Each structure stands twice: as structure tokens, then as C-alpha cells.
Structure 1
């Protein structure tokens, strides 16, 4: 989620959820290598964001190794290689992202190089297939090759294939059908590997339903960005069994405003600026009374505001106090049958999936 899950969004996400694993936006290896005198702009993050995973992209072994070595100094909790992005800028001209799934041998070598240059776990984010290379057998070959050639023991599986021509990145998130059966078959056929489920999950109840079906972890991307309060607000209690923060949106915004105004102009006169800092906030009142008016006021106020504090002072009167001061409440819904009878969806030769014990699940916030 380039230009989306940046430091500002992750700061907001961590204010809402203490325990969700956070993923960075994809950072291209060449950017890290060639900007090594300005790395803080791309890699630095507040300590409060732990646990956090750095996602990198690239197709050059030397640059992936160098980038990982430089990033290792920032103490991320995991390094992830993106093998799932279908964007033409990445999979086409860049020759990485989802296109890497065509070459599992290279991905295995890349993960070995990444692991050799960091002291944290490494993982791969991928699709279930690309173009006509979309059989379950081919997905197993990809996983098996990467596992055999590297220490990789964690895969984030977007349960759709990617189509590299004819579909936009947005269409690639909706048009290819979801095949959750591939994910659950991987759980059984690779018992020593951890798999995170991604794709089509838009509510916290779908997260908990998938965990009940045996999913190790669940990744939520755009749903957590487009509705952060309702999506992330229930993670600590529903997924981790921890007490829910009783913070209101007003309190969250007060903390975020202190963060925002303290870093404004940190990397030059316009980096970051008020508009960049406000961007993650625009969905905080999703479906609430006053949301439309607040967005209209935000649009006009951004034209002249110089601080985040002044922006909030000029716009928040559009939101009723009952919304601003209400603590997180259970507002998510369950989509009946969304994960029903998963065993029946498995390919015939991979039937009889059983749901054994699994590690503590994690909800993470990034997606391709």
C-alpha cells in the first residue's frame, strides 16, 4: 500500500490498537540503497509502532541484500518481500511484485540473501498464482522452493491470483475470485510453515471467523485504512483477548495532533505537511453523523491551515460530541457463511482439512 500505510497512518493505527502488527508501505530496495544518506525519511519510525514489519520490493539480489543490511539498523520485527503487487509500475517495468512468482528459484535466493543480512524473521507476501500459473500444485511448488532455499517460514497469502495485463491494481483486488480453499490446504500441507490469510476480509467478525476455521493470522489492508475505528478498534479484545482501549476519537485526535505538529517540516519545508498528516484521518468518522460535512470542511480548511491543531479546531465542530467522545463499541457485523464449510471448498485431492492448534493470531495492516 504505497503512499498509504506510511508513518502517519501507522501512528494513528497504533493509537487505536496496541497489539495489531503493522506493515510499512512497500519500500523499493533501490530507494534504500541510493538514499542511504537520508534513510530516516524512508525507514525511521516511533518505537511505539512495534511490532512492525518492513515490506521491501525488488528483483536485484545485491540491492535486496544491501537494502536489508541498511534497514536492519532500524530494528524492525520482520522483513517481508512483496511478491504480490500487480501494479504495472512494479510487476511490469519494475519486474518485481507479483511477477516474481514466475521464478520461485529467484525468490528463494532473494529470501536467503535478505535473511543473511538481518537478524529478524523474514516472510513473503504473494498471491495464489499469476495469470495462467494458478493451480494449487504450482502454488505448492512456489512455497516449497522458497522454504527449501531460505529460512522463510511465514507467507502472507492473498487468496486471489493476479492478472498482469487487462486489469488495473484495483480490479486485481476484486475481479479474480477468492479461493480460500487454497489457503486452508496450505495449512495442512505445510505444517511447519506459518500462513497469514489476506483478501476479501472487511470486518473484525470475518477475522475472528477465519481464525476459528484455523487461520494462523489474518491481514487486513484497505478495510483497516477505510474504516480504522471499527476495524482496528476491536483487534485487541477480539483477536488478542486484551482489554479494549477506552479512548474516544477526540482523545485519539489529541494524541495524533501532538505527533503531527511535532514532525511537521522534519524533512524540509513541505515534508510532511498538513495535508499529508490529515490524509489518514479522513476515514476516522466512517458512516458517522457529520462525516460528510467534516470532509467538506476539511477540503476547504486544508487550503490555508498551517498546523494540524488549527485544522482540527476549524473542522471538528462538524462532528457531534456524542461521536467524538464515545469509546470504542462493538459495531462490526458478521457476514454469515463467509467462511462456512471451508473443508468443502478444498480441491478433491486435498480434502479432510482439520483445524488443529495454532499460534496466537495477529491482525496486520497492509495489502496488495
Structure 2
């Protein structure tokens, strides 16, 4: 599949399968059957799939992992039905990240590249769009420890055809502002936690992004509310008001440092519970494999202003980078699309490196 239209048709086929997080079974079945029928070695881990060519005696080539998550966020009416509209493929997951998956599959199935200087392994894993603990990539790496000997993992997240290095860490916390509940007809008997939170939320509104430079790449730290709620009846002055807060931190911080930083910023407004934290990943610009890929791709090198599973590969000592045809601005958007014109250049860049 070397023609642009073939890549678009494969992408349409991928987008036609239901695979919202937690419902990846059908697409995992399809992937496993596809590669087993081709004679590849297939391993199934829950709803994740690893495919590799049969091992040959004496094959000492370095391994390159082609990595995509197979789940998507819930569709909207504007992208529920995958289709080609003019110069775009429209559909849930087109940019994030089935366009990258289509490109990686096409490369993996290319016999010339399979016989090239690298041993190729294809990974399609479930649960990336959900909670950090539900991400199945960790299970895959534990079930197939040989993968951690790879020379490079190419994670085909949407990058606008840039090579995006490292990634931000992500911390989710809940901040509870405490007041005193009372009947809404007699509010003077209580202390309204919602209005009490107003002063702190006004301060939060002034929080500005902070640029952090790591290996000459500028990562932008941001933090802010993503939700808020009370649990009382509508005729009760709320005694508690909870704010969900998300903090995206740069690769200069580990989990503990990031936790300390956000707690200091939140201040003494009320109890804080850190729900989950996904570590950041350094750019690894000096890795020989990363250098080789960036040189072959001939693309702009930029920081990844989001969390991706390059961080999980960093934890097990595998150099990793983000590169894909998807548009970052289209991730999770209603009416999600990817330009057809992005597919072939992404494939060509991968082929130049792998060849």
C-alpha cells in the first residue's frame, strides 16, 4: 500500500470499527486475525495486540517498535460515520491516532522494509484515552519483556508531521473547599462553599502558562480547573465544593517534584487529593536512534505539549519519540479529520529511516 488512496482506505476501515475506550475487543480481534493470517507471530494481551515477523536464527538487527493506541474518545454526530470529504478523511480517531496506525501498519506490511536494517514490531494497545492505570501498554511490556530491548519506539500520535520529543507529565487532583451546609431559605445559618471558592477561583484564573526549557526545547506548563461540583440537594446551601484540577508539567520534574509544585500553587484553600499522575518524559535528543530518525525524517523537531506513552517507554529504558500524520488541533474535536495529504509524507519519513 504505497499510494495515498490506499492509506486513506485503510484509515477508513480502521475508523469503521467501534473502539471507544473499554470497547476495543472488535478491533483487537481484527488486528490479531489480520497478522496471524499473514504468518506473523501474534501476542494478545487483554485488548492489545503485538505482531512481529517470525524470528530468524542469527537475526541480530536492532528492533524498532511501531506503536499506536487503538482506542478513541466517544464519537460525536459530526464524526460518527467515517468518510472522505474532499481532501480529508473525517471520523472519530482519524487524527488521534488511527492515521498514525494506518501508516505504521502499511510500513510493517512492506516486505522490503521488513527485510531492511531493523526488525519491526507492531503494537496496537488499548486504554490510552482512559485513566492512566487502565492503559494496557504497561501490561504489554510486562508480558513481552523482549520489547524493552528495542532500540527505538516510534509512537504515532498526532504531531502535524513534526518530530515531537519527550512529553509533558499530567497530574489530576481534586480540591475541596469546605463551608457549612444550611437550608437555602436561611443561608445565614451556613457558609456557602461555592461562593467561598470564588476568591480562590478568581486567583486560579490569573495563573499564566510557564515556559520551561529542557534540551533547547520549550515545554509550556499549565494548570487549571476541568470541572466542579457539589453533592447536595438544590434547596441546601452547599457545605463542600469540589474542583477538579489538571496540571501539565515539564520534563524537568519527576512525580514528587510536580506534586509539591502544584500543592504549593493551590495553597491552603482546603483538602487536596491527588488522584493520578503520569510522569513526564525527557526529550532524549542525544539518543543515537532518535538522532537517526530526526535526520531521516527531515522534519521540524519540537516538544510534545501533552502526555504520551513515550513516557512509559522511558520508564523501561527504550528511547522513544512522537511522530505521526494526525493534527494535534483535531484531537478530540467534534468532526475530527486528518488531511489525506499528510498520510504519504508520514509513511515516506518512516520508510527513509527504516530503509
Which of the pair is proportionally richer in helix? 1
Larger Rg: 2
TM-score by length of 1: 0.25
Which of the pair is proportionally richer in strand? 2
Q: RCO (CA 8 Å, sep 6+): is it higher in 1 or 2?
A: 2
